[in-house]
Amino acid sequence: MNAARILVVDDRPEARRLLALRLRAEGYRVEEAEGGEQALALAAADPPDLVLLDVLMPGIDGFEVCRRLRALPALQALPVVMLTSLEASDDRVRGLEAGADDFINKPFNPEELRARVRSLLRVKMLFDEGQRQRAALAEAAATLERRVAAGVAELERLSRLKRFFSPALAERLVGDAGEAALRSHRAEVSVLFADLRGFSAFAETAAAERVMALLAEFHAAMGRLIFGAGGTLERFTGDGMMVFFNDPDPLPDHSAHALRLAQAMQAAAARLAPGWQRDGGPQGLAIGVARGLATLGAVGFEGRLDYAAIGPVTNLAARLCAEAGAGEVWLSAAVRAEIDGRFGLQALPPLALKGFAQPVPAWRLTTPAAAP
């Protein structure tokens, strides 16, 4: 550790040099100033650890030098010892008011000088250490604040992503990858649209609490299956929902994944339907599955964003769902072409669907879900 640096200020060379010799003998580094102006310039350029300041000097006296030192923000805690032959108490009061920390009478006692210098330097050292600790704490607090802010932002991104994607996928997408996934892009997807048959009539007459309880049960059961299958949930539409596969995570054979999810959803709905129907509830679940290109990305505004798939493929899945009956899964020609005979299918008469100029070929899925 470097030795303390002391600035000795005295207009008399012999007195100044004597002090400097004694201090250097104690191991201190010493700078000398022959007057107030020089002392102020040296202290401002490179603050010392302590100043020994003569009171009676030509030009700027010790009181004024002390006041000016204290006016500099970097020197407000600098220990200043006044060297004086003045005995009057009012002169000491002037010194204290100017900011002096202590006084040594001339001619000084070497032991007294040594003790006072050591004492004030110890106080200065403790003050400097306190300042360093406060600076370190402030930096640590700022770092923690930045980390907390970054953590909160990450949790917000994760929460937003979990609205659309499975929890495992959302964890992977947090950060730049997640933000990139939300930007608009094109991809081929398999889209599943599902709707409860008979729900609207039930909702018109049933108590609100019963309607909401049924929906909560339905959404919970289907949500677990969707995320377990790796699907992206675009939205719940009351008694319906839209799910797509192959975005943002590429999924080979995504049409087969969509059909297997449809089978699992139908099996879950079949288990729930008897309880629903005791209260005049829905008869079952209808599902449509289509495959094709879509535009995907976040839609909405800052306060409310959804992750959407937009294009004819979503319209086709919704129209197939609307035509299907309770317990049925209808699928498009593009889905049939991809599943390559792995599922039992029944061809349907070409469908005249709203929004499509030509009749649309469709098939009904006949393979039941495998037993769990």
The pLDDT tens digits along the chain (372 residues) read 578 999 999 999 998 899 899 999 989 999 999 999 999 999 999 999 999 999 888 889 989 999 999 898 888 888 999 888 766 667 778 888 888 888 888 887 888 888 888 888 888 888 878 778 888 888 888 877 888 776 666 666 656 555 555 565 555 555 555 566 667 889 999 999 999 999 999 999 999 999 999 999 999 999 899 988 988 888 778 899 999 999 888 889 999 999 999 999 999 999 999 999 988 999 999 999 999 999 988 777 665 567 788 999 999 999 999 999 999 999 999 999 999 889 999 999 999 999 899 999 999 999 876 544
If asked whether residues 285 and 346 sit together in one domain, one would say yes
Q: Are residues 219 and 110 located together in one domain of the fold?
A: no
What pTM did the predictor assign? Answer: 0.57
- Quick one: which of 6, 17, 35, 10 has its CA closest to 85? 10
Same domain, 96 and 41: yes
- Measured CA to CA, the distance from residue 348 to residue 363 in angstroms comes to 5
DSSP tag of 86 = -
Q: How far apart are CA 293 and CA 310, in angstroms?
A: 9
The pair of structure tokens assigned to 138 is: 């402030």
Structural domain of 306: 175-365
Shared domain for 66 and 197, answered yes or no, is no
Same domain? For 183 and 303 the reply is: yes
* Phi, then psi, of 61 in degrees rounded to 5: -80, 175
CATH code, domain with 86: 3.40.50.2300
Structure tokens at 284: 């079952």
Q: Are residues 65 and 195 in the same domain?
A: no
User: Does residue 339 fall inside a structural domain?
Assistant: yes
111 in the same domain as 48: yes
Q: Which of 201, 167, 163 is nearest to 182 (CA)?
A: 163
Domain count, the chain: 2
Answer yes or no: do 195 and 339 share one domain: yes
Query: What dihedral do alpha carbons 253, 255, 256, 262 form, nearest 10°?
Result: 150
Which of 365, 284, 281 shows the shortest CA–CA distance to 320? 365
**Amino acid identity, position 306:** D
Q: Are residues 209 and 297 in the same domain?
A: yes
User: According to the 3-state scheme, what is the secondary structure of 276-328?
Assistant: HHHCCCCCEEEEEEEEEEEEEEEEEECCEEEEEEECHHHHHHHHHHHHCCCCC
Same domain, 107 and 228: no
Structure tokens at 119: 């004492």
Other C-beta atoms closer than 10 Å to the C-beta of 234 total: 22
246: domain CATH number is: 3.30.70.1230
Task: Tell whether 280 is covered by a domain.
Answer: yes
149 belongs to a structural domain: no
Q: How many residues does the chain have?
A: 372
Q: Which candidate, 308, 289, 286, places its Cα nearest to that of 299? A: 308
Residue 152 lies in a domain: no
55 in a domain, yes or no?
Answer: yes
Residues contacting 267, CB < 8 A, separation 6+: 368, 369, 372
Where does 99-244 have alpha helices with state H?
110-162, 167-173, 176-182, 199-205, 208-228
